[in-house]
Structure 1
Amino acid sequence: MSLIINIVCVYAATIGFGLLINLPRRALNVAGLVSLSGWLVYYVVDVHLSSYLFADILGTFTVGILSIFASRFKKMPVIIFNIPALVPLVPGGQAYQVMKCLATGNSALAKSNLVQVIFIAGGIATGFLFAEFLNQLYNRFKYYVIQKKH
């Protein structure tokens, strides 16, 4: 039951953030589905492998690939789908814990949480990097095949 509640909340948070940043109405549902897919990959990897870093990389990679497909399908820029889909993957809770620990004087725990935030941010960047690399590789291969035919 908690998984269903999480799924609804992830979708609603993405749609809400999309409305907040004025996404076009025709992109909201697809952005929500891209976000939900990325979060589900994150959740499955995190639960089964207990690796938040690898889960973040794969979740963001999924968001990146699906955003590319969504942008081609809707004929809209990729960033329209990337930005709201990242909402569930951003380490906001850990960043809050860093600030709270610094304010209360617990610097050891603050350092630990800060390292976690940095790794998660790096994982998000890495996931997008891999997705874009795969997209560029596909485009070059497609161009090469078309040139070979002519």
Structure 2
Amino acid sequence: MPWWQGLSFSLMSTVAYCILFNVPIRTLFAGGMVGMTGWVVFQVMTVNGASLTLATFGAATTVSLLSQFLSIFLRVPSTNFSVSGIIPLVPGSKAYKAMLAFVNGENLDGVTLVTLTAFAAGAIAAGLILGISIFSVWKGIVTRYAAKRAKAT
């Protein structure tokens, strides 16, 4: 698939899920950009030799951090962006192929694919949590510094 097709499909699928989740219209494009950015990070990491699990983790962390920043900038909950932004990262085809392998009696292939799917799902969850944690620590540091600065003056 050419790179521009991947960009457009990730943007369209993320915007479609934003619409499905009743995200405010003014934030649709930003939500689409979050999903597209996550897909770009995933593709860049896999092209540069990262494993699928590590690339998914990095992309999910990026989606989470962008969601946190956009939630402050656009004054909407961060879940508006993070839930729909991870859609391009979800390993749906691997899960389908795993179930198909079990149905066809190829149990070893099925277990392998289920394991890869579980690793990808775990990487998505861990990446989202890491992004929220990084943002919370950053916000605490900024708040503490602002309080110290206000006391000094």
Partner of 1:105: 105
Q: Show structure 1 runs of 4+ deviating over 6 A.
A: none
What is the CA–CA distance in structure 2 between the aligned matches of 1:33 and 1:90, rounded to whole Å?
A: 17
Partner of 2:8: 8
In the TM superposition, 1:25-36 aligns within 5 A as 25-36=25-36
Partner of 2:37: 37
1:93 equivalenced with 2:93 (yes/no): yes
How far the C-alpha of 1:146 sits from its partner, in A, is: 2.2
Give unpaired runs (5+ residues) of structure 1: none
How far the C-alpha of 1:27 sits from its partner, in A, is: 1.4
Give unpaired runs (5+ residues) of structure 2: none
Aligned-residue RMSD, C-alpha = 1.2
What is the CA–CA distance in structure 2 between the aligned matches of 1:21 and 1:142, rounded to whole Å?
A: 32
Tell me the secondary structure at the aligned position of residue 77 of structure 1. Answer: coil
Q: TM-score, with normalisation over the residues of structure 2?
A: 0.93
How far the C-alpha of 1:21 sits from its partner, in A, is: 2.3
**What do residues 6-26 of structure 1 show as CA deviations (whole Å, max 9, x unaligned)?**
111111111112222222211
What is the CA–CA distance in structure 1 between the aligned matches of 2:109 and 2:117, rounded to whole Å?
A: 12
How far the C-alpha of 1:147 sits from its partner, in A, is: 2.5
1:146 equivalenced with 2:146 (yes/no): yes
1:57 equivalenced with 2:57 (yes/no): yes
Partner of 1:67: 67
Tell me the secondary structure at the aligned position of residue 118 of structure 2. Answer: helix
How far the C-alpha of 1:98 sits from its partner, in A, is: 1.3
What is the CA–CA distance in structure 1 between the aligned matches of 2:53 and 2:27, rounded to whole Å?
A: 29
**What do residues 99-134 of structure 1 show as CA deviations (whole Å, max 9, x unaligned)?**
111111111111000100111011111111211111
What is the CA–CA distance in structure 2 between the aligned matches of 1:71 and 1:50, rounded to whole Å?
A: 29
Q: Which stretch shows the higher mean deviation, 128-137 or 35-44?
A: 128-137
Q: Aligned residues, how many?
A: 150
How far the C-alpha of 1:50 sits from its partner, in A, is: 4.0
What is the CA–CA distance in structure 2 between the aligned matches of 1:133 and 1:18, rounded to whole Å?
A: 24
